[in-house]
Structures are given as C-alpha cells and as structure tokens.
Amino acid sequence: MELYNLKHPSQVVSFSEAVQLGLGKDRGLFFPKSIPTISNIDELLQLPFAERSKKVLGAWLADEIGQASVDKLVENAFTFEAPLVAADDKRACLELFHGPTLAFKDFGARFMAQCVNLLAGEKKLTILTATSGDTGAAVADAFYGLDAVQVVVMYPKGKISELQEKMFTTLGRNIHTVAVTADFDACQTLVKQAFDDSDVRDGLHLNSANSINISRLLAQICYYFEAVAQAKQKGNDEIVVSVPSGNFGNLTAGLFAKAMGLPIKRFIAATNSNDTVPRYLSAGDWAPNATVATMSNAMDVSEPSNWPRVEAICETMGWPLSSITGVALTELQTSKALSDLYQLGYQSEPHAAIAAQALTDELEANETGIFLGTAHPAKFKDVVDEQLHINLPLPAELEAVVNKPILSAELAPDFEQLKAHLFKTLN
C-alpha cells in the first residue's frame, strides 16, 4: 500500500511508514494512491464481522504486511460486536460502544495499537494525541502497559464530561494526560506544533493516534460493512448513513467504504452548532467560527483536520461534494432529538441524537436510515440525566473509575510550556 502527502504529493510512503509518522511534511495528511475495490460484495456481506473485516483490510494491506498478519491484527483488535438496533421503522442505530471504553474509537485505537506493536519493532515511540472526548480513553486503553510506547493525551479542560475524563486520566504508568485551558482546536494546534518541531518530533519519536493516522481510518471502514450487512438482512437496500461529525474521520472511513463498493446511497454529515462543514456544503465558503461548547462535546470542532481527505475521496471517485448532506442542530434541537428517541423507547445520547434527527429531516420516502451510536449514553450521564429527567445507571467500566483521582497536568495553550513538559515527563 502506497500513500502520498496531500500537501506534498511527491512524498510517498508505505503503510508502515504512514502509521509510524502519523503526518507528512508540513502536517500533510497521508492519502492512498489507489483505493481497492471489492467485486464480491454480496458474498462478503454474508460473512461474520471479524472474517469480513480480514478481507476488507486485506484488500488494503495484504500486499505489504501479508494476509496472515492482517488476520492476526483483526483477531486481536475486533473482539466485540456492533449491533444494528432499530429506533423506529425508518431509522436504526449502529451501536459502536460495546468495546472496552464504550466508544466507537475502540475500533480504530485498538487496531492502531496492534499495528504499532507489529511495525515498530524495538523502536521507542511517543503517541501524542488530542481528544474532544472519546479518543483519549480508547487510545489509553489500547496502549496501556506497552512499555515501548509512551502516550500523552491532551484535552480541553472542563469541556469534556467528567466520566469521559476519568476513563483515561486515572491510569498512570505509560499514560500521561494534560488538561489544556482552551478548546479542542487549541489542543489540535499544539499537536501540530509538536510535529513541526524537530526536537520534539525526532527526540521523542513522535506519532499521533488521532484519526489523522491512517491505521485508525482503515479500521473504521469495517463497521460500515457490518452496518450494511445487518441492514440487508432486514431487507433494506436504499441505505443512507448519518454520521455525527467532529473531526470527520468517521465520515472519511464511510466514504472509503463506499469507494470500495459498499452500497451506501449517500451520507449525511451531522454536526452541532460548530457548523463549519454544513455551511461550507451549503454556500461554498470555508469560514470556521470560534468553537462553541455544546452538550455534544465530542463534536465541538470548528476546523476538522480530516476534511482534506473527504475532498480527496470525492475528487478521486468523481463525486460532487453536494452528494454529502450537511445538517447542523442547535442545542434546543439536540435536546428535543434526544427526548424524541427516548419517547420511542430508544435510550441514546446527544451525538447520536443529532445524527438520528438529521435522518428524520433528510430521509426520502424510499430510504432507510442508519445513524452511528458513537458512545454509550452513560458516558454523558450528567447531560442525559438532566435532559431526560432520569437517573441513568453506570455500566461496570464507568463504575470502576468514578472514584479514582485524576492524574492530569494542567497547561496553558502554549507550545513552549508543552515542549518543556514533554521532555520533563518522558525523559
């Protein structure tokens, strides 16, 4: 598998190099030189999730690392299910929160950890990543205890739920966490500055576990195949997928799946008040506003770093950007969407509720909608309890951390402070 830097196309790397570098020259995203297609889709969709995923990922990776290695990566990473659960007769939720940290990012983070473990050899690595909520827990869980890998997770102080925070800031050992007194976009900027600084990048053998890392995106392709497989078993063909979108890695993975031949009719990019992409799709003007804090905090992103990949896929496949529908919901609309699902008997959380409402707004009569459930409702217990006037019980994974102390350092959004902290902490 060969990938090129979207900013500097002459920089071409292998999958192994892309995984270990994370970003290319001038923070460019790596993008595949070719997208593999699968001809026997109907046969593929009959297979169990893990067996199908071996073939999907083998189409990308077997030529470089061998099918046997692909099989082992999948077997070690994908050890939990992703059920498609009906919310009503037109909409179903693909529940991606049945992994160890109760969020969809378990798929990508665990697959990436397995890739790093396979490809890095004896090299010591530092994973530096920013999270707007669930990435931190998924990455921390996936890499926890790997002595050759140090992990640093930055997050916006006070802008993620306390239960989200507890799942990755209480571990210690090789997991280091930093609460940044700013928003998520500032955290992403610090990550990018670290990769631009040769002292940090080379001295700490820096890598990133954000959805900018190609290994995470490839893993996420697999659950779109699972969604369609389950939908087709129920007789649904005209399938529209609504994706709660923050950094747009999830939508990128879905578009890759469609490009491989998966029969998804179209996608909806559903956001909250941080509506850069819906406005862009509507008016053609890329004009990020200041990030606004919302109850769907994992989507509080005004400058999504994966968007160049979305445009690159559409250009490669000859799809107009208008084939993606952008929908943005206010806080009041989000609250109503969450309540509406609950009244139907489906317990959800704000991110999935936004995606579900986008389907209600945009589905045509002959279409069936799938919305992604990206996190367990209990990860947003405070919001869900307040909005629905309930007392949501905690699953065991959250009960285990609720009383543990937070071990984070606190820093201003200043790169020199971060640089000093990294060398002090990791050396």
- pLDDT tens for 293-308 read 999 988 999 999 999 9
**pLDDT tens string 364-410:** 999 999 999 999 999 899 999 999 999 999 999 999 999 999 999 99
Q: What is the pLDDT of residue 408?
A: 96
Give buried/exposed letters for 176-196 (b at 16+ CB in 10 A, else e): bbbbbebbbbbbbbbbbbbbe
The span from the first CA to the last CA of the chain, in angstroms, equals 34
List, edge to edge, every strand of the sheet that includes 368-373: 84-86, 91-95, 368-373, 239-244, 266-271, 324-328
Separation between Cα atoms, residue 208 and residue 27, nearest integer Å:
11
Q: Between helices 67-77 and 49-65, what is the axis angle to 10°? A: 140
Separation between Cα atoms, residue 220 and residue 215, nearest integer Å:
9
Classified as helix, coil or strand, 397 is: helix
For residue 384, give both structure tokens.
């869900």
When pLDDT is cut at 50, 70 and 90, the band that residue 287 belongs to is: very high
| pLDDT (average), residues 260-264 | 97
> What is the value of pTM for the model shown?
0.90
**pLDDT tens string 93-142:** 999 999 999 999 999 999 999 998 888 777 788 999 998 777 888 999 99
Beta strands 12-14 and 2-5 are: antiparallel
Task: Return the closest-CA partner of residue 249 out of 215, 226, 225, 273.
Answer: 215
When pLDDT is cut at 50, 70 and 90, the band that residue 212 belongs to is: confident
For the ranges 58-67, 188-197, 288-297, the one whose mean pLDDT is highest: 58-67
